[in-house]
Amino acid sequence: MIELSHLTKVYGDIPVVNDVDMTIATGTITVIVGTSGSGKSTLLRMVNRLIEPTEGRVFIEGRDVSHLPAHELRRSIGYAIQNHGLFPHWTVARNIATVPLLLGWDREKVRARVAELMELFQLDHDQFADRYPHELSGGQQQRVGVARAMAARPALLLMDEPFGALDPIIRAKAQADLKAIQRRTGTTILLVTHDMAEAIHLGDRIAVMDGGLLKQYAPAADILARPADAFVDDLIGVVDRPFHYLTLGTVGAAVEPGEADGAPLNADASLYEGLGALLWSGRKAAPVVDAAGRDVGRVSLDSIAERAARPT
Ligand code: ADP
Ligand code: MG
């Protein structure tokens, strides 16, 4: 568990992070979302002491981080940023190996870990291990950046707009991959973004910040149903709200008994994808199959629409 207690950073006489209290459960993804200048990066960087708080404390598993040597703390916490921060004169393999080597892992263990991470992040070892960052695409650099941040199996991974520089297609894939990798590894992730859709997609809980204040901290469904104030409402977007809901649920949750014509939808597709498929194929319903390809019933425009409405 990570606890932020009365965390405050004042520059001049402006509190850019203002008395933030937050508890982050181990093994979950927490997303901090807010407009530019709301204090997200400052908050994140106080967790690994790249910035020292003016007031308040950070506890990781009960230990006050201000009592640990800062360099030791930062080796135990992964940190990935928008432009990857890769060392330009080091190869991909050497970049990923940075923290394990600092920690004094033996060569063989480092080599094995680099190979394992490159596989996890779908970077072919023979092709990429000896390349330099400028010989990679933006998406590949981004994956190397996250692989490097995870190399020493940090219990906590801090990510500051990690997908900000990616085009929409690569970005969606990177988000899906991160979520899958997090579910496999159980890494606790604290991620900053200005994109509410990204927050809803990735966050087990979402922290909304505005002007240094934590406005709301709750699971996505709660934030959509009960935005704390007009600012949170605006950030969600009135038009987008029902569609955000549909990204949270799966087709499987809207299955009803019965049959329908045409290509089946997968039960684990999102309701948003299901709605798109129905609209595009001009159908009012489609059959649904599970992961093994078995028929499990059908999904209809009505059953999807019910799940896009404000919960009562
Ligand atoms: P975000 O990541 O949400 O865009 P930041 O945490 O980077 O916001 O910054 C929050 C506010 O603090 C901004 O108004 C920014 O200008 C200000 N700020 C950040 N760093 C400093 C600094 N070193 N000195 C003075 N003001 C700063
Ligand atoms: Mg920032």
Mean pLDDT (the chain, rounded): 93
pLDDT at position 67 is: 93
pLDDT at position 81 is: 87
pLDDT tens per residue across span 3-26: 999 999 999 999 999 999 999 999
Report which ligand 1 atom has the smallest distance to the Cα of 51. Answer: 23
Which helix (H) or strand (E) segment holds residue 102: the answer is: helix 98-102
Pocket test for ligand 1, best of 10, 16, 82, 194 (most atoms within 8 A of CB): 16
pLDDT at position 14 is: 96
**Closest residue CA from atom 16 of ligand 1:** 37
Q: How far is the CA of 42 from the centre of ligand 2 (A)?
A: 7
Q: How far is the CA of 141 from the centre of ligand 2 (A)?
A: 20
Asked whether the predicted pLDDT for residue 157 surpasses 80, the reply is: yes
Separation of alpha carbons 279 and 239, rounded Å: 18
Q: How far is the CA of 274 from the centre of ligand 2 (A)?
A: 34
CA separation, residue 117 to residues 122, 146, 180, 195 (Å): 8, 10, 14, 27
pLDDT at position 16 is: 98
Asked whether the predicted pLDDT for residue 210 surpasses 80, the reply is: yes
- pTM of the prediction? 0.91
Q: What is the CATH number of domain 2-237?
A: 3.40.50.300
Residues 118-129: what's their mean pLDDT?
A: 92
Report which ligand 1 atom has the smallest distance to the Cα of 9. Answer: 12
pLDDT tens per residue across span 266-296: 999 999 999 999 999 999 999 999 999 999 9
Q: Which residues surround ligand 2, an ion (CB under 5 A)?
A: 41
Asked whether the predicted pLDDT for residue 155 surpasses 90, the reply is: no
pLDDT at position 44 is: 97
Residues touching ligand 1 (Cβ under 6 Å) are 11, 16, 34, 36-42
Would the CATH topology of 2-237 be identical to that of 244-306? no
CATH number assigned to the domain with residue range 244-306, chosen from the 4 options 3.90.1330.10, 3.90.1280.20, 2.30.110.10, 3.40.50.1010? 3.90.1280.20
Residues 62-81: what's their mean pLDDT?
A: 90
Q: For residue 48, give every residue at least 6 positions away whose Cβ sits within 8 Å of its Cβ, in sequence order, or none.
A: 65, 73, 74, 77, 79, 158
Q: Where are the domains of the chain?
A: 2-237, 244-306
Q: How far is the CA of 212 from the centre of ligand 1 (A)?
A: 9
Separation of alpha carbons 11 and 193, rounded Å: 22
pLDDT at position 20 is: 98
